[in-house]
Amino acid sequence: MEITVQNISKSYTKGVLALDNLNLTIPSGVYGLIGRNGAGKTTLLRMLASVLTPTSGEILLDGEPITKNLAAYRKMLGYLPQNTKLMPQLNIVEFLEYMAILKGIKDKNEIRMEVERCIEIAGLTNEKKKRLSKYSGGMLRRAGIAQALLGDPKIIIVDEPTTGLDPEERLHFLNLISSIGVDKNIILSTHIIHDIENICPNVCILNKGKMMYSGSTAGMVDSIKDMLWSAEINAGEETELKKRAVVTNVTYTYGKPNVRYVAKESMYEGSVQIPPTLEDAYIYAAGGVAR
Ligand SMILES: Nc1ncnc2c1ncn2[C@@H]1O[C@H](COP(=O)(O)OP(=O)(O)O)[C@@H](O)[C@H]1O
Ligand SMILES: [Mg+2]
């Protein structure tokens, strides 16, 4: 399915413009939404999950506004909000049975089968007896995904699912997302660029409510091809260089700064052109290194 975000703006009552006239097309597969804290990711995901109304604009599913038949759209949705607290006293089976009822699955047999199916996909079959309060961060996130998969939704929205996971759990979780995403729409937000490497063919970069890039992950790197430079500069010259070029990274060796920057031509004597990484492309689109 194809989801279209059409002229979407959102201003909260305090006057914050969280999204500023956003237009993007989300094809099927795993789609990445990247941006720093405050970029507007949660705001957009909540609108895609139809729990928040846009101030203006529309969301379309295969060309039809979702507001035309909201009940039908919601039936197709699975949503894992940011910082979800699951019920610590329950085990995974009890938790999912409860959620299945909330999702409107009525038949007892169907609930049992559906709960088993989702536990298996999430790789929690051996963790059924434990209370959720005893789960690790990675297991909790997979329990959250199991919940989002109840009822076999075609569209799955996950908000910053990798925050707080250790590297191994993170990889396990991303592989799970990648394997689920084959014939579905999975929309995933993150502020960690490496989360989208290898699992999101298409991405959107948000910065302060504006879209900075939308398209393929490969195209992101291409967008700064032949424009990335590396230079060893004198201590204290970082600020000056940042005024003339977009700096994507600064590292220090014995106090001597080494910068990576994007510019059409060399901006500092001794600069060497280097191949860009996805991280360079992201930092560039997000306006350069912070500060
Ligand atoms: N309920 C709210 N009321 C007022 N402002 C909000 C609310 N939720 C988010 N914002 C503001 O909207 C902007 C985008 O926030 P958010 O969508 O949470 O970004 P992200 O998920 O990328 O961190 C931020 O400036 C944030 O402070
Ligand atoms: Mg957020």
Domain boundaries, the chain: 3-216, 226-275
Query: Over 70: is that where the pLDDT of 79 sits?
Result: yes
d(CA 97, CA 107): 11
For helices 137-149 and 167-180, give the axis angle rounded to 10 degrees: 10
Query: What average pLDDT score do residues 24-51 get?
Result: 96
CATH superfamily of 3-216: P-loop containing nucleotide triphosphate hydrolases (3.40.50.300)
Long-range contacts of residues 16-22, Cβ cutoff 8 Å, at least 24 apart: 17/209, 18/43, 18/209, 19/43, 19/44, 19/54, 19/209, 20/208, 20/209, 20/210, 21/57, 22/57, 22/206, 22/209, 22/210, 22/211
115-164 pLDDT tens trace: 999 999 999 999 999 999 999 999 999 999 999 999 999 999 999 999 98
pLDDT at 291: 60
Residues with CB under 6 A from ligand 1: 12, 14, 16, 18, 35, 37-43
The predicted model gives 222-238 an average pLDDT of 94
In the chain, the largest separation of any two C-alpha atoms, in whole Å, equals: 72
Alpha carbon of 18 to ligand 1 centroid (Å): 6
Question: How far does residue 43's CA lie from ligand 1's centre (Å)?
Answer: 6
Q: Is the pLDDT of residue 15 over 90?
A: no
Phi then psi for residue 208, to 5 deg, are 50, 45
3-state helix, strand, coil in the chain (%, to 5): 35, 30, 35
